[in-house]
Amino acid sequence: MTVFSFSAYEGFQPGHRSAVRDFSDFARSPNQAQDPELYELENQAFDRSGLVLAAMRELAPWAGQTLLDLGCGSGYWLPGYAAEAAVVIGVEPDPTLLPLAADRCPEVRVLPGSAEHIPLADASVDVVHARFAYFFPPGCDAGLAEVMRVLRPGGALVVVDNDQRHGQFADLLAASPWAAALGRADATDAWWEAHAARRVEVMSRWQFDRRGDFEAVLRMEFPDEVVTPWLSGHPDVLGLSYGYVLFAVRAREV
């Protein structure tokens, strides 16, 4: 496995495609990559009460630590992390999203990379966050091994995933034909349990300011045959209940 250091990407600048490699584990996001502005509205509606963030912080506090946002996308969460962590690094394989992340938070180093190809040295970070990125078990062993490589002893990976059992969003997932690609809840839980992960459920919600934004985001995430009847049955609502599952795995202490 090739190990990259920061110096390997000293020449990377936003929009400079020659510094971006192809990553064998990279699959282009069907939502954020296709419509970053609309996905921005989705992020703004995400868990406005901060319950998910609080659970992440409890699992692995990052104040004063070095934090890696793995699959950082357009960098929406980077400024918030930077307000607490000593060092924040964003890693993203999509060359269309890298410049957006780099421009959003200039004090954060944003690097091209992927879950299986993290351009950092061994034992160089304290906390790794992955929100809805890569870790859709089974078949994630290579990425987990790479994350464990870059974590310092006692450091933690925290993954945010959809709860496929609870909440209105889970109902939409169950009705959506593409959701099967994310794996089933029982298989996901079993994979994480086999890797000694701590599992935490958080019930929160999406909440939008405008009905039109809510409808547009739902249509980005789900096919019309799923969204249209749901919206018809829920007129005038500006959000839905949304269950999240967090998985946390710690690197071995020396």
Query: What 3-state class would DSSP assign to 234?
Result: coil
CATH superfamily of 29-250: Vaccinia Virus protein VP39 (3.40.50.150)
Identity at 248, one-letter amino acid code: A
* Residue 63 confidence (pLDDT): 98
The pair of structure tokens assigned to 81 is 């992390």
* Residue 8 confidence (pLDDT): 29
* Residue 88 confidence (pLDDT): 98
Enumerate the domain spans of the chain: 29-250
Tell me, rounded to whole angstroms, the distance of Cα 14 from its chain centroid.
21
Angle between helices 224-233 and 168-175 (to 10 degrees): 140
Q: Beta-carbon neighbour count of residue 60 at 10 Å?
A: 22
| Phi, psi at 141, each rounded to 5° | -60, -40
The pair of structure tokens assigned to 245 is 């599952």
In tens, the pLDDT along 69-107 reads: 999 999 999 999 999 999 999 999 999 999 999 999 889
Name the stretches of the chain with pLDDT < 50. Answer: 1-20
| Phi, psi at 221, each rounded to 5° | -90, -25
8 A C-beta contact, residue 246 and residue 199: yes
* Residue 29 confidence (pLDDT): 78
* Residue 12 confidence (pLDDT): 32
